[in-house]
Amino acid sequence: MKKVILSILGVVLLFALFILVKTITFKADNPDSTPVTPIEVTDDALLRLQKAIQFKTISYGYPGQPDSVEFTGFHQFLAAAFPLCDSLLEKKTIQYSLLYKWPGSNPSLKPIVLMSHMDVVPVDEGTLDNWEAPPFSGEIKNGMIYGRGSMDDKVSLMAIMESVEMLLQSGFQPDRTIYLAFGHDEEIGGEQGAGSIAKYLESQGVQLEFVLDEGGLVMEGLITGSDRPVAMINVAEKGYVSFELSITTPGGHSSMPTPDNTIGSLARAITKLEDHQFPYKSIPLLKAQMAKMGPYYPFTQKMAFANSWLFGKKILEVLNAHTTTAPTIFKGGVKDNIIPTSASAVVNFRVMTGETTEEVLQHIISTIDDDRITVKSVTNRNEPSPVSDFEASSYKTIEKTVQQLWPDMVVTPGLISGGTDTKHYQPISENAYRFFPIRVSMAGITGFHGINEHLATDNYKEIVQFYHLFIRNQNE
Ligand SMILES: [Zn+2]
C-alpha cells in the first residue's frame, strides 16, 4: 500500500515539476529593434484634428444619405490643411470617399493601402450631459481632445495625412506605391465607400501587398500585474450575422392559456440557444497570441499560458474564442389579455474563424427544434475574414515600427470581434492588418461609439509618429 501511495505521489510531483519547468522556461520572443527617435509633431496637428472633428460627417442607418455639405466641407478642409498631399498626390473622389495615390519609385513592388474612414456614428441626444465637451467641438481639455472621431476614426485619417504631409515636405519618396483610402460609410457597412474604392482599384488591375486599417489598438492594463501595454495587431475578424426568429400561432384569450404560448415558446427557443453555446476553439493565431502575451503575466496566469494544453479552455474563454450568441431584440404582444398570434426576436452572432454563417443557421434550427419558428437572416451574412499572415514581412514591419517607438509594448497578432472596412479589399489583398497605436484602457473601450469619446493629445502625436516611421520603414 505504502508503495502505491509513494508512486502516486511521485507521479504527482513529476507532473507538478513538468508544469513548473514549462512555466519558468516560457519566455517571450520579441524581435530586437533599435529604438528610433520619433519625429516631432507640433501642436498645429492638434488644431487640425480639432477642426476635423467639427465636421458632422455622420452615418445614420443603412442605406445612408450623407450630408453633402458636411462631407464636401470636410474634403475642402483636408485640401487646405494638407496642401502638399493635395497637390503632389493623385486624388480621386469616389462618391464622398477619397483615394490618394502616392506613386512609388519601384513599380515592381506591390502597392499598399493605408485605410481609415471619415464618417462617425451619431450621438444619442439624451447622453449629451455625460460628455466632458460637446461631441462635435473637438475641444481640448486637460490634455484630452473630445469628440466623435477622436477614437473612431478621424484620428487615424488625420494622422495618416499629417505624416504624409511631413514626409512630402522632407522630400521623401516611397519605393512602393502608397494609397490612402478614406471611406465615408464604414459605420453602415462601407459598401459605397471602401467597397467602391476597392472595386475601382481592382478595375485598374491593382494587386496589393497589404492594407492597414483601424481595428487594432494598444491595450493598457490588459496584462494584470504588468505595466506593459499590449499592441494588438488584429490579423483576422470574426464573421457577423443576425437571425430573426419568428413564431406564428393561433393565439387566443389570456384566460385560457395553452402550454404552447407564443411568447413562451419563442422565449424557450432563445433560452435553448443561450444554453447551447458554440464550443471554444483554438486556432494557430490564438496560440501565437498566447505565446506573445503569456510570458508577461504574473506567475499563476503565466503557468496557465505556458501549459495551455492543460488550461486551454479557460484561456480560450478569456479570449472569447468562439461564435458568440447575443439576443438583441424581442417583440411580441399588443394587449395584456391577448395571447399574440406572433412574436419575433433577433439574435446576433459573431462567427468564429473557421466557421460559417450557414453553420450558425443550422445550429439554430437544430437547437431550437421547433417547426413553428422560422429563421431568417436580417443582416448581411459576413463570413469570418481569412487570417492574414502574421509571419509575413509586412506584418513584421508593423511589429518593428511599434518596437522601435515603444520598446515596452508587447506586440501580438490578434482576432477582432467587430468588423472593419478591410473586408472589401479581400479580392485584391491577401493580407489585411488592423492596427494603429491608439492607447485604450479597459474602461476606456466604451468610448468607441459610446459617450465622451476622447483621446489624449500626446497619444495623437504618437499615432502620427507611428505612421511617419511605418511609411519610412516600407523603404527597407
Ligand atoms: Zn471605425
Structural domain contains residue 31: no
Backbone angles phi, psi at 125, to 5 degrees: -50, -40
| pLDDT score recorded for residue 224 | 83
Query: At which of 342, 377, 412 does a domain end?
Result: 377
Structural domain contains residue 353: yes
In DSSP terms, 100 is beta-bridged to: 91, 180
Whether residues 293 and 369 share a domain: the answer is yes
Whether residues 209 and 69 share a domain: the answer is yes
CA 47 to centroid of ligand 1, rounded, Å: 21
Whether residues 373 and 393 share a domain: the answer is no
For the purposes of burial, counting CB atoms within 10 Å of the CB of 219, is it exposed (0-12), middle (13-18) or buried (19 or more)? buried
The 10s digit of each residue's pLDDT in 86-127 is 999 999 999 999 999 999 999 999 999 999 999 999 998 889
Query: At which of 377, 396, 427 does a domain end?
Result: 377
CA 339 to centroid of ligand 1, rounded, Å: 43
For 179, the domain range is: 44-218+387-473
Domain of 194: which CATH number? 3.40.630.10
Picking from 39-43, 77-81, 223-227, 434-438, which range would have the lowest pLDDT averaged per residue? 223-227
Mean pLDDT of 253-272: 94
| pLDDT score recorded for residue 449 | 78
Domain of 332: which CATH number? 3.30.70.360
pLDDT tier for residue 448 given thresholds of 50, 70 and 90: confident
Whether residues 293 and 247 share a domain: the answer is yes
Higher pLDDT, 31 or 408: 408
Structural domain contains residue 307: yes
Whether residues 340 and 411 share a domain: the answer is no
Q: Is-contact 219 132, C-beta < 8 A?
A: no
Domains contained in the chain, number: 2
DSSP classification of residue 5: H
Whether residues 109 and 72 share a domain: the answer is yes
By the CB criterion, residues less than 5 angstroms from ion ligand 1 are 152-153, 214
| pLDDT score recorded for residue 343 | 97
Whether residues 256 and 341 share a domain: the answer is yes
Whether residues 395 and 372 share a domain: the answer is no
Whether residues 241 and 357 share a domain: the answer is yes
Whether residues 373 and 391 share a domain: the answer is no
pLDDT tier for residue 8 given thresholds of 50, 70 and 90: confident
Structural domain contains residue 22: no
pLDDT tier for residue 9 given thresholds of 50, 70 and 90: confident
Structural domain contains residue 223: no
**Residues assigned a catalytic role:** 119, 186
| pLDDT score recorded for residue 223 | 87
Structural domain contains residue 156: yes
Whether residues 113 and 60 share a domain: the answer is yes
Structural domain contains residue 19: no
CA 156 to centroid of ligand 1, rounded, Å: 10
The 10s digit of each residue's pLDDT in 24-41 is 777 877 777 788 999 999
CB-hemisphere CA count at 13 Å for 463?
32
Whether residues 76 and 207 share a domain: the answer is yes
CB atoms within 10 A of CB 426: 14
pTM of the predicted model over 0.85: yes
CA 214 to centroid of ligand 1, rounded, Å: 6
The rounded mean pLDDT for the chain is 93
The 10s digit of each residue's pLDDT in 214-249 is 999 999 998 888 889 999 999 999 999 999 999 999
Structural domain contains residue 400: yes
Query: At which of 333, 353, 377 does a domain end?
Result: 377
